[in-house]
Amino acid sequence: MDETALSHGELYTVITNKAAKGKSKSIVAMIAGTSSEKIIEVLLKLPQRIRDRVEEITLDMAPSMNVIAKRCFPKATIVTDRFHVQQLASEAVQEIRIKHRWDAIDKENEEMEKAKKNRRSYHPEVLENGDTIKQLLARSRYALYKSEANWTKDQRRRTQLLFQNYPDIEQAYRLSQQLSWIFENTNEKIYGYTRLAQWHEKVAQSGFKSFNTISRTIMNHYRTILNYFDNRSTNASAESFNAKIKAFRSQFRGVRNIAFFLFRLTKIYA
C-alpha cells in the first residue's frame, strides 16, 4: 500500500498485489486521495472472504495507512517498510551536512566582504582533493546516502576529508549505517528487538536531536517494524510499481485526462 501523484500533485492511494510481480493483476485498487475513511469505504466493497485472504500488508508510517490496513484487512500482519525507517536516518545525516554547508557559505561571504574592505583579493582554502570547504560539503551528498563499501575512489577520499573536518557528520553517518546493518543482518525478531534497543542507547548518547526523533518514531512503531524480521517483506514492490506509473506518465508527456490514464493502467495492470 502506497501513494503516488498522477498530475499536479494530486495524490492517489495505490494498493497492489505483490504476487503479480508488477504485471497483470498487480492493481487491487487506485483511489483518489489519501483520506482513510474514503479508502476504507471503497475497500469494504470487496467481499470479506477475499479480504481475509490477505496475509501481510507492507506500508509506510502514515497513521492513515495503518487505520486502513486494520479496518479492511483485520487478519493481515502489518509490516512497516524498513526503507522508510532508513530514509529517516539518511535525511537526518543530510540535515547535519546542510547545516554545516550554510555555515560555510556564511563564513565565505564574511571573508569575501572582509577582503573587499581591505582591498585585497579573496582566495578560499583548497583541500587536498581540489575542493573548497563549501564544495566538499555540497559534493559529499551522494556518498552519505551510500554504504562505505560502495564508495568510488573519489568519494572515499572526499568523505575522509569531510569526516576529518566534521566529526559530527561521521558520527551521524555511522549511526545511519548501523541502523541499515540491523535490518540487513538480523533474521529473528528477538535479535532485531535487542539490536534496535542498543541502537537507541547509542542515539541517546550522541545528542543529535533529529536522531532522537527517529528513535522515538521507531519506538512508537516498533511492533510493526519488528514484523519485518518474520518474512523480510518490504514496500519495494509498491515503490517499483509507482516507478512504472511515473514512467508511463512521462512516456505520454504527463497526464491530460486522468480518467483515460487510469483506464489505460487498469487495462494493463489490473
Q: Where are the domains of the chain?
A: 2-81+234-269, 83-230
pLDDT in tens, the chain (270 residues): 888 877 767 788 888 888 888 788 888 888 888 888 999 999 999 999 999 999 999 988 888 888 999 999 999 999 999 998 999 999 999 999 999 999 999 999 999 999 989 888 888 888 998 899 999 999 999 999 999 999 999 999 999 999 999 999 999 999 999 999 999 999 899 999 999 999 999 999 998 999 999 999 999 999 999 999 999 988 888 888 888 888 877 777 767 788 888 888 888 888
Report the residue count for the chain. 270
Q: What is the pTM of this model?
A: 0.84
CB atoms under 10 Å from CB of 132, counted, come to: 15
Residue 264 grid coordinates: 489505460
Using an 8 Å Cβ cutoff, are 13 and 34 in contact?
Answer: yes
CA distance 226 to 229: 6
CA distance 79 to 111: 52
